[in-house]
Amino acid sequence: MVTAPDAGRAGPLPVRPLMKPWYRVVHQRDSVTFQYGRSLVVVRGDGVSDLFVRLLPLLDGRRTSEEIDSLFGDAERPSIGIAIRLLNARELLMDGTEVTAKGTENPSIQFLIAALGISVSPDEIASSLAEARLGVLGGSPTADELGTLLAEAGVRVERVEPASDHLPPAGSSLVIACPDPGQPALLGRINEKCLRLGLPWMQILPFDGDTSVIGPLYLPGQTCCYECFRLRRLSNSEFPKSHRLLEATPATFPSAVSLDRTVAGMAALLLLRWFASDHGQLPGWAYTFQLNPTMSLASHRVYRVPRCPKCGPDWPAPAPGSIVSPWDSRGQAGGT
Ligand SMILES: [Zn+2]
């Protein structure tokens, strides 16, 4: 016998209940345990395992609750109804009507929903990924790796050579700049152009012997810009004059394919989360990946510099209506 769930936690029942397929299920004599990550749900009661053995295969997203009820006898029907409501109250169900091949053929989408708790449907995420237009710039091998990873997840990626006259590429909704250590001027150039166009962009800085930096994602007029990032870095330096000279000087820092792929993978995860749900921890946040003394990833909030010479009070903000970014209409709060 299954007892009723807490009424207060139960949301509306999905039209066609679909058991989240990533939950591990353990049947014992008088209990069933569901587990994914830190989520653990234990249902106890006489005969509960037998009941769930028959119920779970029916929660395939193709039947309504009424159709499932009709497959059981009068004596079992109340327990079936309670069991479905309990699974729903514990957020173990999705709506099968919102899950088509469009959203399920892409393994990255199921991962985003399962691991990141994104509460939109797989089809909505598939649409968001398909609508994204990404321009990837820069000579770092990370650029190619990132482009490949995002393209495999369903994002349209255009690779643009640093010397191209089309910086940033026409039609981009987001630009990613991945300079190699020999391209110190690239980021300033992209910053000015994207500020002028109102176009979001993100940086991935090459490993400099100490760290690789992923982000921030810059939203013109809403978050810090690259110059803000630069000025804040300089203000933290013990030797700002030397730092200024060094940052403007090309270098040949070595990297490794494994490091390039690691950084690209982390950047791709952050971007997929952003495309899928406007996750707030990308605009105005920088992630530093360090190898020493132990391998680690740290996040840092990067605030706008009030009198930034590029995006401060004298910045000629694009006229209303001239913003080319589709993200501005999505209500994203920035790290200002
Ligand atoms: Zn700025």
Buried b (16+ CB within 10 A) or exposed e, 81-105: bbbbbbbbbbebbbebebbeebbee
227, 326: one domain: yes
User: How far does residue 229's CA lie from ligand 1's centre (Å)?
Assistant: 7
Higher pLDDT, 106 or 25: 25
User: How far does residue 226's CA lie from ligand 1's centre (Å)?
Assistant: 6
User: How far does residue 221's CA lie from ligand 1's centre (Å)?
Assistant: 9
pTM: 0.84
Phi-psi region of 257 (alpha: psi -120 to 50; beta: other; left: phi over 0): alpha
63, 140: one domain: no
Beta bridge partners of 31: 28, 44
Distance CA 130, CA 59 (A): 29
Distance CA 181, CA 262 (A): 18
144, 90: one domain: no
Domain boundary among 98, 113, 140: 98
User: How far does residue 224's CA lie from ligand 1's centre (Å)?
Assistant: 5
Distance CA 234, CA 232 (A): 5
Please give the mean pLDDT across all residues of the chain. Answer: 86
Taking 70 as the threshold, does the pLDDT of residue 220 lie above it?
yes
Domain boundary among 79, 98, 117: 98
60, 205: one domain: no
Per-residue confidence band for 168, with pLDDT thresholds at 50, 70 and 90: low
Answer for the pair 26, 43: CB distance below 8 angstroms, yes or no: no
User: How far does residue 312's CA lie from ligand 1's centre (Å)?
Assistant: 6
Q: For the residues 180-190, what does the mean pLDDT come to?
A: 92
How many residues comprise the chain?
336
Taking 70 as the threshold, does the pLDDT of residue 163 lie above it?
no
255, 137: one domain: yes
pLDDT value, residue 30: 92
* Beta-carbon count within 10 A of 147 CB: 21
89, 143: one domain: no
User: What is the H or E stretch that residue 205 is in?
Assistant: strand 201-205
User: What is the H or E stretch that residue 217 is in?
Assistant: strand 211-218
pLDDT value, residue 324: 46
Residues spanned by the domain of 138: 132-330
Nearest Cα to 164, choosing from 139, 195, 200? 139
User: How far does residue 156's CA lie from ligand 1's centre (Å)?
Assistant: 28
Answer for the pair 336, 304: CB distance below 8 angstroms, yes or no: yes
Per-residue confidence band for 325, with pLDDT thresholds at 50, 70 and 90: very low
Distances (CA, A) of 142 to 99, 178, 213, 261, 293: 33, 7, 12, 6, 23
Structure tokens at 320: 């209303």
Taking 70 as the threshold, does the pLDDT of residue 279 lie above it?
no
User: How far does residue 2's CA lie from ligand 1's centre (Å)?
Assistant: 59
In the 8-state DSSP scheme, what is residue 283? B
